[in-house]
Amino acid sequence: MAHISHLTPQEASAILAAHLPQPPTELPTVSLVDLTDADPAACASFHAYLVHYTPHTATYLVTLQLSDPLEAEAPLTAPNSLQAQYKLLSALHAHISSGPPPIPLPFPVPIAFNTDAPRPYILARLPAPLSPSAQLKSLATVRGTLPPEQTASLELRFGLALRTVHNLQSEWCGPPPLESEGLYSWQETFERLVDEAFCVAESAGDIFASAEDVAALRGCLARAIGAFLFDDVEVPSLVALTTGAGSVFVTDTDDGGEPQLALLLPSFAHLLYGDPLLERAFSPSEAPSRALLEGYGLPPPIVFARQRTKRMWYDLYLGLVVLLGMRRVGSDRNVDWATQLVEHNRVLIRDAPCY
C-alpha cells in the first residue's frame, strides 16, 4: 500500500494537541528535514519534519514512520524501530540533562511517541526555537562556502557534540535488537554484525565481485579477531553508524549573520552501542577536520595503526549496511558511494596491520 509522505499542518496540529498542555489555536507550519541518513531503507521508512507552533515560540520535530523497516535477511542491519529510537533519544536526553555540556547543543528533547496512530510518530522539541522562515543547511553542504573561522567554529561544536554522545555508555553492545542478549564484548558483537552482513551479501551475488572476495575477508576477520583488534572497547558508547556531517544542521546565513548549530541527530535509525571509532564522522570518507577532532578532545579516535585498521573494517561494514538497505527498498541512492567504500576498504584490509 502506498504511503503519503508529507505531514500536513492538520496532522501536525493533532499531534501537538494530543501531547501539549496548551493545544495550538492556529495551524502550525511544517517543513521536511532533508534526508540525513546514508541508509536508503532508513530514509524510506522515516521522515523528519520541523513543526513551528504559533503564537507560542517553539519548534518541534516530528519523526513520522511511513512504513515498517524491512528486516529481510539481515535484521541487525535494518533501521531501528520507532520505539527503539525513542528509547535511545530519551536515554541521550537524560544523559545530557544530568551533566550538561559546556555549551548548549541542539539535540532534540523527547516528548512522546505513539505507535497506535495510523502513522506512528515521535514528537520532540528543539531546545531553541527557530523562525518558520529559517532555512536549515547541513554542515556537509556549507563546509566549503563559509569563511574558515566560521566553519572551524561549527566543527568544534560538532566535535563536542560527538564527545557528548559517546559519553553515554551502556552495559551491553550492539543495536537495540541485541539488548536482550546482554553482549558485553564489542569484539564478539562486531564479529556477529559483520558475519550477518557477509552472509547476505554473499547470497546476493552482486555486492562482492566473487565468493573468493568474501572468503578472503573472512580470513582477514579471523586474523583480526585472533589479534583482539576490536577487543579494546571496555565500555560501549552510543554511536551513529550512518549519519555524519549531513545530520548536523545550521541556520541559514543569507542575512549575513554567523551561522549557528540548529539541529543535531534528527535520525536515530542506526544508533547503537559500540566502539566510538565506529562513528561515521570519523570515517576518512567524511574527511574529519582538525577543528572537529579538537572539539572532540582527548583521547583522539585514531592514534595507532591498528585503529586505522579498525576504521577500515567499520567503513566496510558501513558500506554493506547501505547496500543492503538499498536492496530492501529498491533504491539506488548512495549506491556508487557505498560500493566504492566497500571495494576500497576490502583491498586495504588485506595488508592492514592488526597489532
Q: What is the pLDDT of residues 310-347, one digit of tens each?
A: 999 999 999 999 999 998 888 888 899 999 999 999 99
Q: What is the pLDDT of residues 36-94, one digit of tens each?
A: 899 998 998 999 999 998 766 789 999 999 988 766 667 899 999 999 999 999 999 99
Q: What is the pLDDT of residues 260-294, one digit of tens each?
A: 899 998 889 999 999 999 999 999 999 999 999 99
pLDDT for the residue 191: 97
| Residue 191 located in a structural domain | no
**What are all long-range contacts of 331-339, with beta carbons under 8 Å and residues at least 24 apart?**
331/40, 331/41, 331/43, 331/44, 333/40, 333/43, 334/38, 334/40, 337/38, 337/285, 338/38, 339/207
| Residue 223 located in a structural domain | no
| Residue 255 located in a structural domain | yes
Cell numbers standing for residue 119: 502513522
| pLDDT band at residue 127 using 50, 70 and 90 as cut-offs | very high
pLDDT for the residue 5: 61
| Residue 185 located in a structural domain | no
| Residue 33 located in a structural domain | yes
Q: Which residue has the higher pLDDT, 204 or 239?
A: 239
pLDDT for the residue 253: 55
| Residue 221 located in a structural domain | no
pLDDT for the residue 8: 93
Cβ-contact 46, 64 below 8 angstroms: yes
d(CA 276, CA 184): 15
Q: What is the pLDDT of residues 228-251, one digit of tens each?
A: 999 999 999 999 999 999 999 998
Exposure string for 199-235, b = 16+ CB within 10 A, e = fewer: ebbbeeeebbeeeebbeebeebbeebbeeebbeebee
Report how many domains make up the chain.
Answer: 1
**Domain housing 162:** 9-173+233-349
| Residue 228 located in a structural domain | no
Residue bearing cell 546514508: 38
pLDDT for the residue 14: 94
| pLDDT band at residue 1 using 50, 70 and 90 as cut-offs | very low
pLDDT for the residue 257: 73
| Residue 39 located in a structural domain | yes
| pLDDT band at residue 34 using 50, 70 and 90 as cut-offs | confident
Confidence (pTM): 0.94
Query: Over the chain, what is the mean pLDDT?
Result: 91
